[in-house]
Structure 1
Amino acid sequence: MPAEPIQSRAAILGHPLHPVLIHFPVAALIALVGSDIGWLLTGDPFWARAGLWLAGVGALGGWISGLAGLVDLVSVWRIRRLITAWCHAILAVMLLSLASFNWLLRLGEPEAHIMPWGLYVSLLTAALISITGYLGGRLVYEYAVGVDIEEALSRSLRP
């Protein structure tokens, strides 16, 4: 762990925005795999409509969260010099491009392209989320990006 934490520039009251914003898009894109499988097993159009919404929330929410991460990447030199940060960013752009493509596939006719492309892209996106999330975790736990070490230590020392 570094001698001092790496502060986020995209933060509100010291709380970094990127980790706050990323949870809903990640959940939506993981749930998209489930909705595609639900449609595959049942043929119920509900699952196709749900997939359209999940893909949209995942793509748009991910891009919004990504902007907060991009602010930190380009404006904080200690983040910018980390190879892990660049790998995280590049994979995030790849997965958000796939998520956006998946959403565009579903616009107009949500059921038309679930098989095979929609499901394939959903699975590939979920795999990229796991790798990108792992790298994001490394940024927090190994480099203390956006972590207030003094507050964390004071909380761990409380009875």
Structure 2
Amino acid sequence: MNPRSTAEIAGHPIHPMLIPFPIACFVLVLLSDIAFWRTSHDFWATASLWLLGIGLIMAALAAVAGLIDVLSDSQIYNLNDAWLHAGGNVIAVVLELINWYWRYQDGAVVPTGLILSLVVVLILLFTGWKGWDMVYRHKVGVVD
């Protein structure tokens, strides 16, 4: 039997429904940081701050659903890929939380915010790969 997602609605796992939002927000932060770097227009700095805030809220919701799944099924709990996926995402969210705080306090976009945004997008590529492994190799949340 495949590992089962327990945080679900009508048989559909919640975690994969939520993760596109923080991913999109954090990638758009990088793009708006690049736009700010190239134009120095304050709109882009403000956009990044809002995108970070929304991304962090959605990441927290996705993390709760993911944690419920990991802790509720020993097959998922025992997967190394699950812990690499979760750990990488925790690191990404902590970096984005620091990124948001620095921007909120000091307006630091270039170079600090831009570098943090780039690092987070690279981390998300890795954690997305690990999430893919969990679904397509280990069949997490896939109906038998």
Which TM-score bucket, shorter chain as reference? over 0.9
Could you tell me which amino acid in structure 2 is paired with residue 41 of structure 1?
R
Q: Hey, what's the Cα distance between the residues in 2 that align with 1:9 and 1:85? A: 15
Report deviation, 1:135: 0.2
Q: In the alignment, which residue of structure 2 is the partner of 1:121? A: 116
Q: In the alignment, which residue of structure 1 is the partner of 2:90? A: 93
Q: Secondary structure at the match of 1:114?
A: coil
Whether 1:48 and 2:45 are equivalent positions in the alignment is yes
Q: In the alignment, which residue of structure 1 is the partner of 2:80? A: 83
Unaligned runs of 5+ in 2: none
Q: Is the 8 A contact 1:59 1:103 kept in 2?
A: no
Structure 1 segments, 4+ long, off by >2 Å, are none
Report deviation, 1:108: 4.6
Report deviation, 1:107: 1.4
Report deviation, 1:71: 0.7
Deviating more after overlay: 133-142 vs 55-64: 55-64
Q: Hey, what's the Cα distance between the residues in 2 that align with 1:29 and 1:10? A: 24
Q: Hey, what's the Cα distance between the residues in 2 that align with 1:35 and 1:136? A: 26
Q: Hey, what's the Cα distance between the residues in 2 that align with 1:148 and 1:103? A: 38
With the length of structure 1 as denominator, give the TM-score of the two structures: 0.87
In the alignment of these two chains, the number of paired residues is 144
Q: Secondary structure at the match of 1:62?
A: helix
Percent of residue pairs bearing the same amino acid type: 38
Q: Hey, what's the Cα distance between the residues in 2 that align with 1:73 and 1:101? A: 26
Q: Is the 8 A contact 1:106 1:113 kept in 2?
A: yes
Unaligned runs of 5+ in 1: 150-159
Q: Hey, what's the Cα distance between the residues in 2 that align with 1:31 and 1:43? A: 17
Report deviation, 1:6: 1.4
Question: Aligned to 1:69, which of 45, 66, 69?
Answer: 66
Q: Hey, what's the Cα distance between the residues in 2 that align with 1:24 and 1:90? A: 19
Measured on the aligned residues, the alpha-carbon RMSD in Å equals: 1.0
